[in-house]
Structure 1
Amino acid sequence: MFKFEKEQSVWDFNGTKIGGQPGEYPTVLAASIFYNKHEVVLDDKTGKIDKEKAEALWNRCQVLSDTTGIPHFIQILAEYPEAFEKYISWFDSIDNKTAFLMDSSVPKALAHACKYVTDIGLAHRAIYNSINGSITPESIEALKNSDVDAAIVLAFNPADPSVAGREKVLVEGGVAGQVKGMLQIAEECGIKRPILDTAATPLGLGSGSAYREILACKAIHGYPTGGAYHNMTVAWTWLRRWKGTSKTPSLLAAGYAGKDALLQQMSHHYLGGIEGIKQAAWSAPDIGCNMIASTLGADLIMYGPIENVEAMITAQAYTDIAVLEAMRPLGIDVKADNHPIFKLI
């Protein structure tokens, strides 16, 4: 655990505070909803959803946040402007306080979302995701013309995944033709609450530097920092083969199916059977990769599908308590009344 000499910024999103020295505030989690092939999405173009199921998922997050003291943002994903409007409107109808990330691989849809939240007065709760090396002039203009003042700023450098390379993207630019650093672009777009994303990359392709960049971001810039570290697990080819898909059987199944051997023996003693064994093998690193980031000072963990909330939030609460206990001898103490140490100890 680390105490940073640099003064640490803290951003307030309607009472949810993010940033500061490790241990001062509980880590904020962000759950993804309406992602590709999410079962609650009935029509991804029009934004038609199963509202009852979607609300139940978010209610689980809120109940567990209240129980553990670990706060939540929600990460809304959409590929079409109309869908963005419907999703954001739905979320505001069931929760008029929590901040939401606006995320899309389609610049036009994300630009539309910026205008929409400005028009309906929700820009103060919106977090643009993300300002990165491939941001278009149209997206920059849309962000400038909006009231959105919070954004994820991505330290992704495909040419140089080292810490120095990631910092170059933030400060100097030079990625995908960008002549300006991401932080300069963010400032020019009116972003007053940047959250630095250290850009999780696959194992073997600079994943360790994504973790080290947490320390660099907080030590150099002092801004709240985090990332979507579960992407390291998703991109781990070996683990995907272990878990298996409908097209690719797991390594265990491929190695032992039809031999009446180890896998079948294991499944008899495991309540979840063969599928349970594969799921456990997947979920452990999927959660554990985030705990590494938390011990290094990450303030925001974007953990992926909202269905993973139980495993993620309990692991996060444990980590936050351990970090706080480690920081107290260094002169750092909790500044939040809702910290897990007050609820779970």
Structure 2
Amino acid sequence: MFQFQKEQKVCEIGGVKFGGQPGDYATVVCNSIFQKGDKIFPGKRKDGFDEKKAAGLLKTQDRLTEETGIPGMADIVANTGAEFKTFIDFVVANTDMPFCIDAWTLKPKLEAAAYCAEKGLLDRMFYNSITVWEQDLDTEITEMVKIGVKNVLLVAFDQDDQMPTGRITGTQKLLDAIEKNGAKFENVFVDTSVMNGPATALCGIANRMIKEKWGLPTGSAPSNGSYMWKEAREKWGFKGWAAADAALESLAAFMNHDIIFSGPMVGAERIMPAIAMSNAFQATAVFSETGRLPKDSNHPLFKLFPDFVENIKNIESSKK
């Protein structure tokens, strides 16, 4: 359960490592900022954002990374290239964490990637994303190669097969398109497309299949499921919904997720401790089954439960 026969790729973006065998590295939490409805916009989006509030979100996420051992990433959401320039400049001025450029349409994503190349930020930048539903995939990949994009997320899905096998079909389609266009990205990740909360389990299973087939780092956006579940807020209020959200993110972290897109950054104080516990839980299970401890000395198991680690190491040693 906790060891893949296929060699697992370990990727690094902005000093943060992803991938490897289960339990080797902490799950990276990518929280969005500047998305539609973000409360850092006090009025209309075009009128600007509250810089103090936005900086506070980034600093809180950095603090939680230090406290929990869970690496943070900023998913910068924008509608135009001009917006991206403003938002990227702000993020890099306030934090050293890696970041995604995230837009629904092709033009602003490519403009943002080109701006990152101009500013020498491609090592920190994660292209979010190339998708199976992009109408001009060849053009997108060709332009990404010209810009020099290094890190890319593939969003894999098959509308005709919504089971895990469909995510494999989608991944293959995107990998074929990359190969066809002669692209050789340094780091390729696969997002297996959450449809609702329970369906995140299908993502976890698909992620395992992808790891067994290609050894690539995998993830998904469980928040797509929890934030769409409006009935939970109606039945149990914010606290009940927040508990369900944290549970869903934690379950996903345990189940073959190297990265989780966990929704608005304002939720970091809820999500990052929950995933830290999930990662410590997973690493303990891995140790029980394989005798392996995390490769990252900053892993939540070491950071939050050092006495317990020494205890299980002594127990294991006494058996030999």
Q: TM-score range by the shorter chain?
A: 0.7 to 0.9
1:331 is matched with which residue? 291
Q: 1:322: how far off?
A: 0.9
Spell out the pairing of 1:1-345 with structure 2 (5 A cutoff).
1-41=1-41, 44-45=45-46, 48-95=48-95, 97-135=96-134, 136=136, 137-171=138-172, 181-187=173-179, 188-202=182-196, 206-236=199-229, 240-243=230-233, 250=234, 252=235, 277-329=236-288, 330-345=290-305
CA distance in 2 between partners of 1:215 and 1:18 (Å): 15
- Tell me the alpha carbon deviations over residues 102-138 of structure 1, each in whole angstroms, 9 at most, x when there is no partner: 1111221111111111112111211111111122244
Question: Which amino acid letter does the alignment assign opposite residue 21 of structure 1?
Answer: Q
> Is the alpha carbon distance of 1:321 and 1:241 closer, same or farther for their aligned partners in structure 2, counting shifts above 3 Å?
closer
Identity %: 28
* 1:49 alignment partner, SS class: coil
CA distance in 1 between partners of 2:159 and 2:58 (Å): 34
2:310 is matched with which residue? none
The root-mean-square deviation of aligned C-alpha atoms, in Å, is 1.8
CA contact (8 A) 1:13 1:98 kept: no
CA contact (8 A) 2:157 2:169 kept: no
Q: 1:45: how far off?
A: 4.7
* 2:2 alignment partner, SS class: coil
- Tell me the alpha carbon deviations over residues 225-267 of structure 1, each in whole angstroms, 9 at most, x when there is no partner: 111011112233xxx1342xxxxxx3x5xxxxxxxxxxxxxxx
* 1:74 alignment partner, SS class: strand
CA distance in 1 between partners of 2:44 and 2:88 (Å): 15
CA contact (8 A) 1:320 1:340 kept: yes
Question: Which amino acid letter does the alignment assign opposite residue 29 of structure 1?
Answer: V
CA distance in 2 between partners of 1:332 and 1:186 (Å): 35
CA contact (8 A) 2:197 2:222 kept: no
Structure 1 unpaired stretches of 5+: 172-180, 244-249, 253-276
CA contact (8 A) 1:45 1:83 kept: no
Question: Which amino acid letter does the alignment assign opposite residue 264 of structure 2?
Answer: P
- Tell me the alpha carbon deviations over residues 140-180 of structure 1, each in whole angstroms, 9 at most, x when there is no partner: 33212112111111111122111221111111xxxxxxxxx
Structure 2 unpaired stretches of 5+: 306-320
CA contact (8 A) 1:68 1:317 kept: yes
* 2:120 alignment partner, SS class: coil
CA distance in 1 between partners of 2:303 and 2:166 (Å): 41
CA distance in 2 between partners of 1:203 and 1:295 (Å): 15
Q: Compare the two structures and name the one with the higher helix fraction.
A: 2
CA distance in 1 between partners of 2:226 and 2:279 (Å): 22
Question: Which amino acid letter does the alignment assign opposite residue 256 of structure 2?
Answer: G
CA contact (8 A) 1:114 1:142 kept: no
Q: 1:38: how far off?
A: 1.0
1:177 is matched with which residue? none
How many residues matched?
A: 299
> Is the alpha carbon distance of 1:327 and 1:117 closer, same or farther for their aligned partners in structure 2, counting shifts above 3 Å?
same
CA distance in 2 between partners of 1:87 and 1:194 (Å): 24
Q: Of the two, which has the highest radius of gyration?
A: 1
Q: Which deviates further from its counterpart, 317-326 or 12-21? A: 12-21
Question: Which amino acid letter does the alignment assign opposite residue 86 of structure 2?
Answer: K
> Is the alpha carbon distance of 1:288 and 1:122 closer, same or farther for their aligned partners in structure 2, counting shifts above 3 Å?
same
CA contact (8 A) 2:30 2:73 kept: yes
Question: Which amino acid letter does the alignment assign opposite residue 342 of structure 1?
Answer: F
* 1:166 alignment partner, SS class: helix
CA distance in 2 between partners of 1:202 and 1:14 (Å): 31
1:258 is matched with which residue? none
